[in-house]
Amino acid sequence: MVRAPFYDKNGVKKGAWSREEDEKLRDHIERHGHPNWRKLPKLAGLSRCGKSCRLRWMNYLRPNLKHGSYTKEEEEIIVELHQQLGNKWSLIAERLPGRTDNEIKNHWHSHLSKRNNTRRFEIQVNPIDASEQEITSYAESHENQRIIVSDDRSTNVSESSSTMSTETSYTQENYSPSLTSNHVQSTSISEEDSVASWGTLEGLGSDFWTEPFISDNVSYGHCIYRADPGEIAYYYDGTDLLYQVMGEYQLS
DNA sequence: AAGTCGAACAACCGCCAAGGA
DNA sequence: CTCCTTGGCGGTTGTTCGACT
């Protein structure tokens, strides 16, 4: 999974490290430390640049490093800290003994970011036909996620408007029916798609999707925007989740 | 069996801030 | 004050491997 070793035009070796190189680097640092990374390769008898040596030491050879799979607790810490700090991998790594910033960053991109993205989704609600049970069933299938729909989802099509409406929230704690839904569906949405519709929102900045915290002036369970038929409504659930609810008013 | 594709991850690259000359 | 060196950080790339067709 690494680049094959090669020498650049300056005779500096790049690519995967051999066991012999690792031994040389480890041995040198254990004897002399690393007061100067630039000078270290020459002193250690390596054809690498100082930066490469530092990276190899910090991310792989350093004592007390953990390698391999992450525990659930570690993943929870990463997700939580990422929400607080953003891509400050070095700060996150400080809170996870034995893990490096590079490793955490890789793990985030290959595992956790995808999982996190699935927290943003779109709900297609037929306001005429979708029952509470159907919506609740949807909520049940999305563990630990709150579904919010407007109270007037059952109002007549001709009376629909784009004014703000009250809302009712359905959670797993409150409801537990097991109906399957034909009218409440979810699909993953991309961040780009979400941002593309951002202009319809009020009270939140355009950087909401990248900000770990939410605006203080948005109350719990607040319906931000109510859509006309065919438009997209956005609902804020009081934590850090924002749902898109399709204003689909036609029976399919 | 062979080809394709995406996930995983080690390593590289460019940029920036701090500190010393 | 300016310039240079160095270490550190975050984004990106390149290669391998396993799953799937």
pLDDT value, residue A95: 87
Beta pairing partners, A187: A122
> Which residues surround strand C, with CB < 7 Å?
A 1-4, 34-39, 50-51, 54, 87-91, 101-102, 105-106, 109
Domain match, A83 and A52 both: no
Is residue A1 situated within a structural domain? no
Is residue A166 predicted with pLDDT exceeding 60?
Answer: no
Task: Tell whether A97 and A170 lie within a shared domain.
Answer: no
In the prediction, which pLDDT does A52 show?
Answer: 92
pLDDT at residue A101 is higher than 80: yes
Same domain, A158 and A223: yes
The bases of strand C with some atom under 7 A from any protein CB are 5-12, 14-17
- A223 near A166, Cβ under 8 Å? yes
More confident residue, A181 or A87: A87
Rounded to an integer, the average pLDDT of A234-242 is 35
Is the confidence at residue A200, as pLDDT, over 60? no
**Residue A151 forms part of a structural domain:** yes
Q: Is the pLDDT of residue A220 over 50?
A: no
Q: Which domain holds residue A95?
A: 72-117
Rounded CA–C1' distance between A188 and C20, in angstroms = 23
Cα A118 from Cα A124, distance rounded (Å): 16
Share the mean pLDDT of chain A: 57
Q: How far is the CA of A250 from the C1' of B3 (A)?
A: 45
**pLDDT value at A33 more than 60:** yes
Q: Looking at residues A34-50, what average pLDDT do you find? A: 90
A14 within domain boundaries: yes
Q: How many domains in chain A?
A: 3
The band of A71, judged by pLDDT with boundaries at 50, 70 and 90, is: confident
Mode of pairing for the β-strands spanning A13-14 and A6-7: antiparallel
**Through-space separation of residue A199 CA and nucleotide B14 C1' in angstroms:** 34
Nearest residue to A122 via CA among A56, A185, A191: A185
The CATH number that applies at residue A98 is: 1.10.10.60
Residues A128 and A210 in one domain: yes
Minimal CA–CA distance to A77: which of A50, A96, A90, A56? A96
Of A219 and A68, more confident: A68
Total-model pTM: 0.56
Q: Give the highest mean pLDDT range of A19-28, A79-88, A193-202, A225-234.
A: A19-28
